[in-house]
Amino acid sequence: MRENTRSRGNAERLCVLVAVCCAAAAMPLTFTGPAVALPAISRTLGGSPLALNWVTNAFMLTFGSTLMAAGALADAYGRKRMFLGGLAAFGLFSLGLAFAGDIVWFDGLRALQGVGAAAAFSGGMASLAQEFEEGERLRAFSIVGASFGVGLAFGPIASGLVVEAFGWPAIFLLVVALAVFALVLGGIFLRETRDPNAGGLDWKGAATFTLALAFLTFGILQMPEAGWSDPLVLAVLAAAAVFFFIFYRIERSVAQPMLDLSLFRYPRFVGVQLLAAAPAYGFVVLLILLPVRFIGIEGASEIDGGRMMIALSAPLLVLPIAAGLLTRWFAPAAICGTGLLVSAAGLAWLGQFPVGTQPALLVAPLITIGIGISLPWGLMDGLAVSVVPKERAGMATGIFSTTRVAGEGVALAVVTALLSAFTQMNLASAAGANAAGIAQRLVTGNVAAAASVVPSIERVVLFQAYGDAFGALLWLLTAITAATAVIVFLYLGKGTDVVESAAEDPDLVPSTAMDP
């Protein structure tokens, strides 16, 4: 049974909020830090372009594919237990990354780090939903969003400073410090809660979903190297489709599904899932691509590259909280849709500046993108748990977070493949059959390796090909973000609150989840 949150003192609830916020701040460091350090990691550990792409994608793949399972386990076996156990694993594997001796071990530890992060995130957010009543919950989640923004805003510059002073392994010590602090605070002040009607984990669903995402990501990343019509690529993508279909059939038939498909009958629930995927193409991919461009291609230092990223993510320090306050006067759909349109305008603006542009000229479009994405960012997590009964907060958090993180992982794989393909097309006349190999190395920021493939090609030609490809990609991201804004306007503002209707819907009442 869920204890009345009013019986808990404000100081205790504040400490719980701080613990979850510290964990949330550590998450962005796990992908902005390696993005800033990728050229240095490449020089130290080596590895093919595909292996270097997995530096980021391994974490996002396991993080996204295990979130729903972690949310279900949190509801069934305890949210505090899942939060603390996940944090412990997250910190341990983060520490191991600092001592990885080769790129294979590094990528493997990144995958394990993502599993720990999924458990910590699902347990923490579900616990937070139990601590605050409906009126306070949206503001609490807005504060968590701002904490995430702190990690995004200062992660690149902090990582740049640490890399230049101590080397890239030291960036993971920042993550460990935040994880340990959140672990101690959560262990003292967090209370154990669970859903009394929750059943066991849907292992078949969890396994097929993870395999489907793994095959999909691998196939997309393999495309630039092997070709779009390569038999292996086609076989892997076909396997992904098969596993997604099997996952769908399992969730339709099991007594206690990991993903309650009946929720998708509600327009606002669908709108929230679309909103979850929106920042992937309009913001998150830039957190990875821009440091590689600034540091690897344009030759900026890690510190200067990190400083540029502050312009993109600094609005997340304040505006998510402001978005929560704006809900007193404006509908969430209006706030979120407007924010995505602003972000799309910033992407189009950034596309006007070629590679090599003076950094000062990029600040305004980067800030515009950050401002736009900050408005929905502060509302997304609160909306995710507001459209289902609060007893099922773990499942709601898991579904929403899976949509967001898995969407980000797939988006990053797709965008990386497209940037490589665009660059390859631009180099086709100058490099011929070697264009693909040069493009893959440019996308990972390794200009020296790209130039060594065909030494006769001048570097200015390489930079021009990459710059034109990056500009074309920004226009595509602009169109995707603007289209998503329109869809969010239509879906998120449709219908009534699912929380009210769920109590009367036999398909959504937790006690009926055991019915065949």
Reported confidence tier of residue 508, pLDDT bands at 50, 70, 90: very low
Taking only the tens place, the pLDDT of each residue in 264-297 is: 776 677 777 777 777 888 888 888 888 888 888 8
Q: Is the pTM of this model over 0.75?
A: no
Cα–Cα distances in angstroms (integers) from residue 76 to residues 80, 82, 103, in the given order: 11, 10, 37
> Is residue 121 scored above 60 in pLDDT?
yes
What gap in Å lies between CA 188 and CA 446, rounded to an integer?
46
The b/e string for 480-490 (b: 16+ C-beta within 10 A; e otherwise) is: bbbebbebbbe
Q: Which residues contact 105 (CB under 8 A, 6 or more apart)?
A: none
Confidence (pLDDT) at 30: 81
CATH fold of 12-191? Growth Hormone; Chain: A; (1.20.1250)
117-121, 247-251, 370-374, 472-476: which is most confident:
472-476
Helices (H), 78-202: 79-97, 103-131, 134-166, 171-189
Listed range (7-21, 240-254, 452-466) with the worst mean pLDDT: 7-21
Backbone dihedral region for residue 331 (phi beyond 0: left; psi -120 to 50: alpha; all else: beta): beta
Instruction: Check for a shared fold between 12-191 and 264-494.
Output: yes
Listed range (151-155, 169-173, 239-243, 302-306) with the worst mean pLDDT: 151-155
Whose CA is closest to 175, among 41, 309, 22, 17?
22
In this prediction, residues 182-198 reach a mean pLDDT of 80
Confidence (pLDDT) at 323: 73
> Is residue 155 scored above 80 in pLDDT?
no
- The count of C-alpha atoms lying within 13 angstroms of the C-alpha of 146, restricted to the half-sphere facing its C-beta, is 17
**3-state DSSP call for residue 3?**
coil
Query: Which is the CATH superfamily of the domain at 264-494?
Result: MFS general substrate transporter like domains (1.20.1250.20)
Taking only the tens place, the pLDDT of each residue in 310-349 is: 888 888 777 777 776 777 787 777 888 888 999 999 999 9
What gap in Å lies between CA 135 and CA 156, rounded to an integer?
34
Q: Domain boundaries in the chain? A: 12-191, 202-257, 264-494
Sign of the dihedral through C-alpha 74, 75, 76, 78: positive
Listed range (113-117, 142-146, 331-335, 455-459) with the worst mean pLDDT: 142-146
3-state secondary structure 424-466: HHHHHHHHHHHHHHHHHHHHCCCHHHHHHHCCCCCHHHHHHHH
Confidence (pLDDT) at 393: 54
Taking only the tens place, the pLDDT of each residue in 470-502 is: 999 999 999 999 988 888 777 766 544 443 443
Taking only the tens place, the pLDDT of each residue in 438-463 is: 888 888 777 777 888 777 788 888 88
Mean per-residue pLDDT of the chain: 78
Q: Which residues contact 440 (CB under 8 A, 6 or more apart)?
A: 49, 50, 224, 225, 420
Confidence (pLDDT) at 428: 81
What gap in Å lies between CA 215 and CA 200, rounded to an integer?
26
